[in-house]
Chains A and B, each alone.
Chain A
């Protein structure tokens, strides 16, 4: 499998000054102390009460003293490793680079063969996992669509399809509820070997949404505690929507989102001190005329980059939303524009993780070849973020002197050596067919690349015994939870 190529930015973007960062942090602490967050979970309320938070059992609203927040967040590790099951698939979250993942949980797929729109299914999850296993741009996999052919157990089947079809790290955003989480943990053990090895080398992680404004999901929060206790990295993502579920100003949206995420991360640290966690805010804007959910606006780009700073101010890794998931069609002008702002800005802000490759229609529609377009944008960002080499070889003084005024650099060894490093976008500048046949359009070329990956790339298979164990776990889950 081609090795993962993370982005290692050499220069950084700061969208907030130190004073502004401090202002957001203290506003957040104030909201947590005075307004509070709703935790509709008895277990969570009990844990908070035991640790000195102000808990109102009737309204389920928890208010947190600033000291408690700071102390709990102080226990969360800044760096840890997400692992895959093949060599070279481990991701070290330590602030030196950005790893990207796909978008996830779509509900419809443009069929791989006919191109027709249809409900998504488990096989789509598996196929895209195989594509992702090949692409060096994608470091971890969010099951891209819902396994709607698997009934109530869809989330566990999405995990099964992913483990079977890619050796890369998998992040679920759907296995919620304390009982389903137990089955996910058993599946993780199969991949890692056993519970202790899973703790040291977690083959999957979890992203849970908070419920804007200032609320949590019972199933999410209860699953989160179970995962945190088992050492599975847990992230919380706030999705403040400016105008509807958040104030119509970026600063206010950040404060609300930050309070939601941090309240949940504090809980994780209370039940499992030192548990690996991450922080995520994916802001958006409400279309003021239709309430449509919009992620491609400048205010949201700013919020996403700012959220990265905030995560790092709390001393935990960040996950940012990248790419242009709003557009309705693949390969459009809109997609290009949106991907650049969203993905590039959070990369340069230094995010540890980002997601979003491969999806359209505000994260609802899987257009399989879109990931090929996004892959190309990703590599453009990767090279761009690496900046300019100003070593003596990079400044090329010798060869400039040698060629002198007028001449050309074509015949220089220095040129021959370095021209291979210049990254040429393959989709827009493909190799011409030698036999003179006309070049197909860009869309068919992307589709052809996707098809050839699907035809040729074989991910490192999961051992037969492990496959069988996963099946057994799914059967047991069906017994207990119903299918």
Chain B
């Protein structure tokens, strides 16, 4: 297989949502001595961008988007360790995302994560039922500039406020922006607790995240 062909097929494995193929192709690329950064940028990223277009135009459904993302992630796990010391994959920002303590609602949060990933963010999904402290420590560990907190219950909304407060206590408030969401959340609540933004759905969450990290929307 020619080098161009490997890269085209890497992109295609993401478009088709075939994680096993993506991993195989990534290994093959390294065996053939291809530059991993080129594989990522021209193969995987090109593929996920195409997936994003197909989703936006209504041809793809959510599972296509999510499985495409899985394929990309699987191949990245092979390629990233092979990057040279001074090479870094281009990302828009690092995000720590989760659902707050006491709250087990998962779907909205996961969808926001998928859309952020598909749009070039590096997302650390810490899962559901997570106390404010976990968001803060994960943000510190991942060197994140953005925290996304989901709350679907009126009784768990106050935990979002705690995240803002604990970030302040940890001295990280200046480095980390906080965005919040979930069915009962409103802009009014975001203003009240001093969060940096609120988004109603996953599409506007991406726009919000871009705005918060200073990328043109």
A residues touching B (Cβ–Cβ < 8 Å)? 107-108, 119, 146, 148, 152, 154-155, 174, 211, 215, 217, 219, 241, 243-245, 286, 288-291, 293, 364
The interface residues of chain A lying within 8 Å CB-to-CB of B184 are 107-108, 364
- Assess whether B202 is in contact with A289, with CB atoms less than 8 Å apart: no
How many whole Å from B61's CB to the nearest CB in chain A?
A: 4
- Assess whether B104 is in contact with A291, with CB atoms less than 8 Å apart: no
- Assess whether A154 is in contact with B154, with CB atoms less than 8 Å apart: yes
- Assess whether A291 is in contact with B154, with CB atoms less than 8 Å apart: no
How many whole Å from B156's CB to the nearest CB in chain A?
A: 11
How many whole Å from A37's CB to the nearest CB in chain B?
A: 14
Question: What does DSSP make chain B's interface, helix, strand, loop or mixed?
Answer: loop
How many whole Å from B60's CB to the nearest CB in chain A?
A: 9
The interface residues of chain A lying within 8 Å CB-to-CB of B61 are 288-289
The interface residues of chain A lying within 8 Å CB-to-CB of B63 are 243, 288
Chain B minimum-CB-distance residue to A364: B183
Complex: how many Å from CA A108 to CA B184?
8
The interface residues of chain A lying within 8 Å CB-to-CB of B58 are 289
Total number of B residues with any Cβ neighbor in A under 8 Å? 17
How many whole Å from A148's CB to the nearest CB in chain B?
A: 5
B78 at the interface (CB under 8 A from A): no
Complex: how many Å from CA A211 to CA B153?
14
Chain B minimum-CB-distance residue to A244: B107
How many whole Å from B131's CB to the nearest CB in chain A?
A: 14
The interface residues of chain B lying within 8 Å CB-to-CB of A291 are 62, 107-108, 111, 202
Complex: how many Å from CA A289 to CA B111?
11
How many whole Å from B150's CB to the nearest CB in chain A?
A: 13
- Assess whether B183 is in contact with A245, with CB atoms less than 8 Å apart: no
B residues touching A (Cβ–Cβ < 8 Å)? 55, 58, 61-63, 102, 104, 106-108, 111, 154-155, 183-184, 201-202
- Assess whether B62 is in contact with A217, with CB atoms less than 8 Å apart: no
- With A107-B184, A174-B155, A293-B107 given, name 16 new contacts (CB 8 A): A107-B154, A119-B154, A154-B155, A217-B104, A244-B107, A245-B106, A245-B107, A286-B62, A289-B55, A289-B58, A289-B62, A291-B62, A291-B107, A291-B202, A364-B183, A364-B184
Complex: how many Å from CA A107 to CA B105?
16
Chain A minimum-CB-distance residue to B112: A291
- Assess whether A148 is in contact with B62, with CB atoms less than 8 Å apart: no
Complex: how many Å from CA A107 to CA B153?
9
The interface residues of chain B lying within 8 Å CB-to-CB of A364 are 183-184
Nearest 10 interchain pairs by C-beta: A288-B61, A107-B184, A291-B111, A146-B154, A244-B107, A148-B154, A211-B104, A288-B62, A107-B154, A291-B107
